[in-house]
Amino acid sequence: MANQEDIFKKVISHAKEYGYIFQSSEIYDGLSAVYDYGQNGVELKKNIREYWWQAMVQLNDNIVGIDAAIFMHPTTWKASGHVDAFNDPLIDNKDSKKRYRADVLVEDHVAKIEGKIEKEVKKAAKRFGDSFDKKQFLETNPRVLDYQAKADGILKRLGKSLENEDLADVKELIEELGIVCPISGSKNWTDVKQFNLMFGTKLGATADSAMDLYLRPETAQGIFVNFLNVQKSGRMKIPFGIAQTGKAFRNEIVARQFIFRMREFEQMEMQYFIKPGTQKEWYDTWKEKRLNWHLSLGLGEDNYRFHDHEKLAHYADAAADIEFRFPFGFKELEGIHSRTDFDLGSHEKFSNKKLQYFDPEENKSYVPYVLETSIGLDRMFLAVFSSALQEEALENNTTRTVLKLPAVLAPTKAAVLPLLKRDGLPEVAHKLMDDLKWDFNVVYDEKDAVGRRYRRQDAVGTPFCVTVDHQTLEDETVTIRHRDTMEQQRVKINEVKGIISKEVDMRYWLQRI
379 near ligand ATP (CB under 6 A): yes
Under rule CB under 6 A, how many of the chain's residues touch ligand ATP? 16
Stretch binding ligand ATP (CB under 6 A), from 117-125, 260-268, 403-411, 420-428: 260-268
Cα 199 to Cα 54, 108, 194, 507, distances in angstroms: 31, 27, 15, 40
Is residue 262 part of the contact set for ligand ATP (CB under 6 A)?
yes
Segment near ligand ATP (CB under 6 A); pick from 14-22, 186-194, 333-341, 444-452:
333-341
CA–CA distance, 392 with 397 (Å, rounded to integer): 10
Q: Which of residues 171-190 bind ligand ATP (CB under 6 A)?
A: none
* Candidate residues 43, 343, 378, 458; the one interacting with ligand ATP per rule CB under 6 A: 378
Binding map of ligand ATP across residues 118-157, x = CB under 6 A, - = no contact: ----------------------------------------
**CB-wise, 109 or 261, nearer to ligand ATP?**
261
Closest CA to 285 of 376, 224, 373, 218: 373
323 near ligand ATP (CB under 6 A): no
Q: Say how far apart CA 172 and CA 182 lie, in whole Å.
A: 18
Nearer to ligand ATP, 386 or 467 (CB): 386
436 binds ligand ATP per the rule CB under 6 A: no
Q: Which stretch binds ligand ATP (CB under 6 A): 113-121, 187-195, 262-270, 357-365?
A: 262-270
Select the residue interacting with ligand ATP from 327, 376, 406, 463 (CB under 6 A).
376
Which residues touch 407 (CB under 8 Å, ≥6 apart)? Answer: 413, 463, 503, 504
In this complex, which beta carbon is closest to ligand ATP, that of residue 230 or of residue 375?
375
Stretch 196-225 residues interacting with ligand ATP (CB under 6 A) = 218
Name the 3-class secondary structure at 273: strand
Binding range to ligand ATP, per CB under 6 A, among 10-18, 296-304, 371-379, 385-393: 371-379
**Which C-beta is closer to ligand ATP: that of 141 or that of 251?**
251
* Helix (H), strand (E) at residue 52: helix 41-53
Q: Residue 513 corresponds to which amino acid?
A: I
The length of the chain is: 513
Alpha carbons 468 and 426: distance in angstroms, whole number: 8
Q: In the beta sheet, which residues pair with residue 21?
A: 37
Q: Reduce the DSSP state of residue 87 to 3 states and report it.
A: strand
CA 311 to each of CA 160, 161, 165, 252, 321: distance values in angstroms, whole numbers, following the listed order: 7, 9, 11, 20, 12
Q: How far is the CB of 49 from ligand ATP (least distance, A)?
A: 13
Minimal CA–CA distance to 218: which of 163, 265, 169, 258?
Answer: 265
Q: Distance between CA atoms of 272 and 285, rounded to whole angstroms? A: 11
Q: What are phi and psi of 438, to 5 degrees?
A: -75, -20
The binder of ligand ATP chosen from 335, 368, 418, 461 (CB under 6 A): 335
Euclidean distance between CA atoms 159 and 164, whole angstroms: 9
Residue number, 265 or 286, with CB nearest to ligand ATP = 265
User: Does 333 interact with ligand ATP (rule: CB under 6 A)?
Assistant: yes
Per CB under 6 A, the segment of 62-70, 326-334, 342-350, 398-406 that binds ligand ATP is 326-334
SS3 content of the chain, % helix, strand, coil (to 5): 40, 25, 35
Does residue 330 contact residue 362 with C-beta atoms inside 8 Å?
no
What does the per-residue mask of binding to ligand ATP show for 227-256, with x meaning CB under 6 A?
-----------------------x-x----
CA trace torsion 339, 343, 348, 354 (10° rounding): -60
Q: Measured from the CB of residue 333, what is the shortest distance to ligand ATP in angstroms?
A: 6
Map the footprint of ligand ATP across residues 393-422, applying CB under 6 A. none
The residue (of 189 and 315) whose beta carbon lies closer to ligand ATP is 315
Q: Please give the residue whose beta carbon sits closest to ligand ATP in the complex.
A: 376
| Site residues for ligand ATP per CB under 6 A | 218, 250, 252, 261-262, 265, 267, 332-335, 374-376, 378-379
